[in-house]
Amino acid sequence: MKYIVFGLGSYGSSLATKLVDLGHEVFGVDILQERTEKNKNKITYAVAMDATNPEAILDLPLKEADAIIIAIGENEGTIILLAALLKQIGVKRIISRVTSPLQKTVLETMGLTEFVYPEQNSAERMAHKLSFTGVVDSYRVCEQYQVIEVHIPARLVGSKISEIDFEEYQLVLVTVKRKVEEKNLLGALRVKMQTLGRVSETLQLKPEDTLVLFGEPKKIRMFAESA
């Protein structure tokens, strides 16, 4: 898969490097030449440019990227300007670093729905999330097991919990998350994930539900990606 990481500071550099280690193609972008020089042998491509320059960023494979991660942390204004440019260009998926609740509110109003908090989410955790089809988030319990949130596979939409054989994959269903709409501080509608707690076996799954599963990552991958 192909990713573009804007911002090669501590977090962005770690994320880009981990994605390359997992076998992906990564374009790293930073305004500081010393950062791109430091990372040029660690990632696929490292480019020094001003991310708020529309003509400059158009030279990047923005529409071919599976996701674009805004990992800039020093300047909130730059994050917002870059997000606006990317939305205007029409890229597939934007994941933005956020440093304050107000900044997140502004980005939500612009239509962004995926955010990362470097203080809470390690670069390794985010890299696994991007590398694994359908993963919303993950948490490593130990070397062997993880708790992973996955988008519901299309084949299971409309199924009841009792009709799904989690034991076939040696998995445990922890809970289900479901989307609900609410207004943010600026009055714009935003989507929030509501955790349903202990789920009933009669619960019928909806298209935008998220399953929280415990087990081995390879087994969860098989479950999520099987036809």
pLDDT in the model for residue 204:
95
Contact 46, 36 (CB under 8 A): yes
Mean pLDDT of all residues in 82-102: 87
3-state secondary structure the chain: CEEEEECCCHHHHHHHHHHHHCCCEEEEEECCHHHHHHHCCCCCEEEECCCCCHHHHCCCCCCCCCEEEECCCCCHHHHHHHHHHHHHHCCCCEEEECCCHHHHHHHHHCCCCEEECCCCCCHHHHHHHHHCCCEEEEEECCCCCEEEEEECCHHHCCCEHHHCCHHHHCCEEEEEEEEEEEECCCCCEEEEEEECCCCCCCCECCCCCEEEEEECHHHHHHHHHCC
Instruction: State the pLDDT confidence band at 75, using cuts at 50, 70 and 90.
Output: confident
- Cα gap 192→15, rounded to integer Å: 26
Of 6-10, 119-123, 156-160, the one with minimum mean pLDDT is 119-123
- Cα gap 126→71, rounded to integer Å: 11
pLDDT in the model for residue 27:
95
- Give the CATH superfamily of 134-225: Regulator of K+ conductance, C-terminal domain (3.30.70.1450)
Domain assignments of the chain as residue spans, ordered by start: 2-130, 134-225
For the cut 80, the answer to whether the pLDDT of residue 115 exceeds it is yes
* Average pLDDT score over the chain: 86
Instruction: State the pLDDT confidence band at 44, using cuts at 50, 70 and 90.
Output: very high
Per the structure block, which two tokens stand in for 202? 């009669």
- Cα gap 144→133, rounded to integer Å: 19
pLDDT in the model for residue 147:
79
For the cut 90, the answer to whether the pLDDT of residue 205 exceeds it is yes
User: Model confidence over 51-69: pLDDT tens digits?
Assistant: 888 889 999 999 899 999 9
In this structure, which topology does domain 2-130 adopt according to CATH? Answer: Rossmann fold (3.40.50)
Mean pLDDT of all residues in 5-31: 93
User: Model confidence over 133-152: pLDDT tens digits?
Assistant: 667 676 666 667 777 888 89
Nearest Cα to Cα of residue 7 among 58, 48, 66, 61 = 48
pLDDT in the model for residue 45:
94
pLDDT in the model for residue 164:
94
Give this prediction's pTM.
Answer: 0.63
For the cut 60, the answer to whether the pLDDT of residue 196 exceeds it is yes
pLDDT in the model for residue 181:
77
For the cut 60, the answer to whether the pLDDT of residue 120 exceeds it is no
Mean pLDDT of all residues in 221-225: 86
pLDDT in the model for residue 186:
72
Report the share of the chain in percent with pLDDT over 90.
Answer: 40
- Cα gap 85→191, rounded to integer Å: 22
157-172 exposure pattern, b = at least 16 Cβ within 10 A, e = fewer: eeeebeebebeebebe
